[in-house]
Amino acid sequence: MKTTCVTSLFALLLSGTTLPAQELDDIHLNVIPRTKDETARIAGALAAPENFDAPQPFETMSGGAATVRARMTQDAFSQPSANISFERELTFKVGNGLFKKVWVSAPSSTLASDGLGPLYNARSCQRCHIKDGRGHVPAGPDDTATSMFLRVSVPAGPDDLVPEIEGYLGTVPEPNYGLQLQEFANAGHNAEYRLQIDYDEVEVPLSGGEVAHLRAPTYTAADLGYGPLAQDAMLSPRVAPQMIGLGLLEAIPAEDILAQADPDDADGDGISGKAQIIWSGEFDRPMLGRFGLKAGAPTIREQSAAAFSGDIGISNPLFSSGAGECTAAQVDCQLTIHGDQDERGFEIDAEGLDLVTFYSRNLAVPERRNVDDPQVLRGKQLLYETGCTSCHTPKFVTHRLEDRPEQSFQLIWPYTDLLLHDMGPGLADNRPEARADGQEWRTPPLWGIGLTQEVSGHTQFLHDGRARSLLEAVLWHGGEAQPARDSVAQMPPPDRAALIAFLESL
């Protein structure tokens, strides 16, 4: 990839020229360029295995030197990077305190914690990302401890498109409800809705006489508190993802991600990964999307700021409205007292946002288990042979960085390409987001997936938690992943068990 300096990028934007994906760089990082020798070493380290008789070098260290010992407890995802210094670990712990902080409505005597809402989905970051792991779907209509919500929007018109981003589809806020539905509200305000999920069971025959049972969900925004939704409103269910390894994903060179993009399937392998490109409010320019289920955020800081605003209703330097996600149509919500109506300026200021970002960046990836088990090694071989690694890229080497030692120049094993892929109609939300269409999702990282039960107390997977096991998650794959999914369904049962054993070792 040919990188472009910031000055040239701004010149492109001012001239009205469409910014091609190849001109994206890593403006969010202080990068020390790689030497020719390092580039050659990296190519060797990233090569596919020649055989599957034994683990590859450093395969147990999923997060490089930042990897921590695997704890078979609920705290497995809550450890700081193993290579963090004592002083920076103190910063991590302060950030953890803010991540767990329970916010209250204004006005309040606890000025450092007021500003909740008026509409919200959770009162703290930890309430959705429980123990820094995956959220869960509602256990029933009375379950209010869920980690799930619905995005909402209406289709973008010609005037809403972003000319600087090639292939931009996009959506715009629903007039009454904005871009996200909130299930809770402060006293005196209506909640926006109640999430209703109905499931239909689907039988899937497998080889060897086995049968899998999938549950196909239907989502309803019930008990709407601010009038009907627009007729063309689009809903997208989201469950909070796990938090580990985010700083390492942020440190992967954009060049290495873009090198795997093949939007027109030029090589004819049926895989057409597409880079998500979004407009960054933090840097005021297009950037490569990395975070979120459709890669709608370019950095951890911007993702965190958006979550503070949309999920908790907390204003911050990047999303400054004290009313959070309240729309202009929700007049009472706009006029209520907010926590930023004092000398602080924001309900969480830049220092607090940076502390939460640092914490999120340094949640460590646990080490692999059972890497030399023959069944696990067979499962790894099948992952390659079925084509799963075409999207779930096993490994990268991060940038060498001036100011992020924990993430600097690490060989990591996230099993993602961070690109958008068509996953077929079965998983479609039919709601575009920036360059992602209604059937496209970002490839999720697989590291840590085998510890979901220990951390979260469940095995619910995919963007909406519909899959109750790793096998169900695989069987929901369609679109570009249909051939790989069919291979799994048709392989001998012992091979299918080996593939699942490999995934559980991650």
Which H helix or E strand runs over 153?
strand 148-155
Does 7 map to a domain? no
Alpha helices in 328-423 (DSSP H): 331-335, 350-361, 374-385
**Strand bridging mode 277-280 / 234-239:** unpaired
Residue partners of 451: CB distance under 8 A and separation at least 6: 70, 72, 76, 77, 366
| Res 361: pLDDT | 98
The pair of three-digit structure tokens given for residue 271, joined into one six-digit string: 């895989």
pLDDT, residue 123, reads 95
Polymer length in residues for the chain: 506
Q: How far is CA 389 from CA 236, 364, 418, 446, in A?
A: 27, 23, 12, 11
**pLDDT at residue 110, as a whole number:** 81
What span, in angstroms and rounded, lies between the C-alpha atoms of 294 and 73? Answer: 30
What is residue 344's predicted lDDT score, i.e. its pLDDT? Answer: 64
* Under 8 Å between Cβ of 122 and 180: no
- Residue 179's closest CA among 154, 200, 204? 154
108 token code pair: 């309040």
pLDDT number for residue 256? 97
pLDDT number for residue 102: 95
Sign of the dihedral defined by the CA atoms of residues 454, 460, 461, 463, in that order = negative
Specify if 402 maps to a domain: yes
Q: Which residue has the tokens 């703290």?
A: 124
Q: Tell me the pTM.
A: 0.94
pLDDT of the residue at 477: 98
Joined together, the tokens standing for residue 502 give: 């490999």
R_g of the chain computed on alpha carbons: 22
Question: Within the chain, which residues score under 50 in pLDDT?
Answer: 1-22
- Answer for the pair 310, 238: CB distance below 8 angstroms, yes or no: no
Query: How many domains does the chain divide into?
Result: 1
Q: Which residue has the tokens 């080490």?
A: 367
401 within some domain = yes
* SS3 category, 303: helix
User: What span, in angstroms and rounded, lies between the C-alpha atoms of 488 and 2?
Assistant: 39
Tokens 């490569």 belong to which residue? Answer: 288
CA angle 75, 404, 355 (to 5 degrees): 55
Residue 12 forms part of a structural domain:
no
Please report where in the chains the tokens 């602080």 appear, as a residue: 344
Distances (CA, A) of 28 to 273, 287, 306, 319: 23, 9, 17, 18
CB atoms within 10 A of CB 310: 21
Residue 4 lies in a domain: no
| C-alpha torsion sign, points 9, 15, 21, 23 | negative
How far apart (Å, rounded) are the C-alpha atoms in residues 7 and 13?
10
What is the model's pLDDT at position 249?
98
Is the bond leading into 483 cis (omega within 30 degrees of zero)? no
The two tokens of residue 495 are: 């091979």
Question: Is 345 among the domain residues?
Answer: yes
Other beta carbons within 10 Å of 44: 7
d(CA 326, CA 179): 10
> Which pLDDT value is given to residue 17?
36
The alpha carbon of residue 39 and the mean position of all alpha carbons in its chain are separated, in whole angstroms, by 28
The Cβ of residue 495 has, within 10 Å, a number of other Cβ atoms equal to: 21
Structure tokens at 325: 């996600």
User: What pLDDT score does 112 carry?
Assistant: 82
Please tell me the predicted confidence (pLDDT) of residue 342.
55
Side chain identity, residue 158: P
Residue 104 tokens, joined? 């209250």
Domain housing 405: 24-505
